């Protein structure tokens, strides 16, 4: 494989890492990977080779993407852990995308690292019994995150705080007893009956696009307003990549676009949906 080495300077956010922001934390000297290693190393070992022991040892899942049988990029998922600062019922995982460089490789069978990107994802869980904020409850919540065996199902969110509200919103719109103003846009379902049924089955996940939107100028008496647009793709789509250049492309065709207006009466109240609208989008018809 030769004597060539590469020096990689990159980083992972220590608290909450916004998309595309890399903060330097570790310098790694490593021999280029071979194609075989990129394809066959365990997730943790591959993580150590690509991003160093400090974060690589936390990797529990690697999704490997290829082009024509050649490794193109790998998405590494870290073990979920409590957010910092701690938010009840929310774990954070980091998704580190490593893109390979074939053009500058000294060996036709070796891979250099071209670019590294890191973004946070979130998972919600039921808060364990006990008083939140106590050392005992904190330990129980940390154990809940540590016990999660997968991270690739984590959902997107602008921040950990948003993830906490999004999880509460999901629980409410999935409930058959929840009451809120509801509208839909679907020429084949003017009664919105099928849309209501579909809403209860929607789950936040890695393929769900989440965007904060402006809230309506309505007086609700809430001290906190929460407004999001959630795009849920067709379930038969292939595993959706975290790479930015894959977003809003033919690889991401939403079936349902949900705009939700929620709020909290005060900082101690539960999140309640005030209004929700759904748009059903059918896949484009390809004409030849």
**Confidence at 8, pLDDT banded by 50, 70, 90:** very low
Query: Which DSSP string do the residues of 126-173 spell out, in sequence order?
Result: PPPSS-TTSHHHHHHHHHHHHT----TTPBP-SSHHHHHHHHHHHHHH
pLDDT at 151: 94
What's the rounded Cα separation, in Å, for the pair 110 and 37?
9
The three-class DSSP label of residue 36 is helix
pLDDT above 90 coverage of the chain, percent: 61
**CB 257, CB 277: distance < 8 Å:** no
**Confidence at 27, pLDDT banded by 50, 70, 90:** very low
Residue 288 has pLDDT above 80, yes or no: no
**Confidence at 177, pLDDT banded by 50, 70, 90:** confident
Average pLDDT over residues 213-221: 89
Domains delineated in the chain: 6-146 (no CATH), 160-280 (3.10.450)
Residue 272 has pLDDT above 70, yes or no: yes
Whole-prediction pTM value? Answer: 0.80
**CB 229, CB 258: distance < 8 Å:** yes
């Amino acid at each position: 494989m030769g004597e060539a080495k590469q020096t990689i300077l990159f980083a992972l956010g220590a608290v909450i890492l916004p998309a595309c922001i890399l903060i330097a934390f570790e310098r790694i000297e490593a021999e280029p990977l071979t194609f075989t290693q990129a394809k066959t190393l365990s997730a943790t070992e591959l993580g150590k080779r690509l991003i160093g022991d400090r974060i690589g040892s936390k990797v529990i899942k690697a999704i490997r993407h290829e082009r024509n049988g050649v490794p193109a990029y790998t998405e590494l998922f870290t073990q979920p852990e409590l957010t910092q600062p701690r938010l009840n019922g929310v774990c954070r995982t980091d998704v580190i995308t490593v893109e390979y460089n074939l053009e500058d490789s000294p060996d036709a069978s070796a891979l250099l690292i071209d670019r590294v990107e890191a973004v946070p994802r979130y998972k919600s869980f039921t808060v364990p019994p006990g008083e939140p904020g106590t050392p005992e409850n904190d330990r129980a919540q940390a154990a809940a995150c540590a016990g999660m065996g997968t991270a690739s199902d984590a959902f997107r969110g602008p921040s950990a705080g948003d993830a906490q509200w999004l999880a509460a919103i999901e629980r409410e719109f999935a409930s058959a007893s929840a009451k809120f103003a509801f509208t839909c846009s679907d020429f084949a379902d003017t009664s919105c009956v099928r849309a209501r049924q579909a809403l209860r089955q929607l789950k936040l996940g890695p393929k769900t696009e989440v965007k904060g939107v402006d809230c309506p100028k309505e007086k609700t008496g809430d001290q906190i307003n929460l407004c999001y647009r959630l795009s849920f793709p067709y379930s038969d789509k292939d595993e959706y990549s975290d790479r930015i250049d894959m977003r809003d492309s033919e690889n991401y065709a939403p079936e349902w676009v949900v705009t939700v207006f929620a709020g909290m009466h005060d900082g101690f109240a539960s999140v309640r949906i005030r209004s929700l609208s759904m748009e059903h989008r059918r896949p484009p018809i390809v004409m030849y």
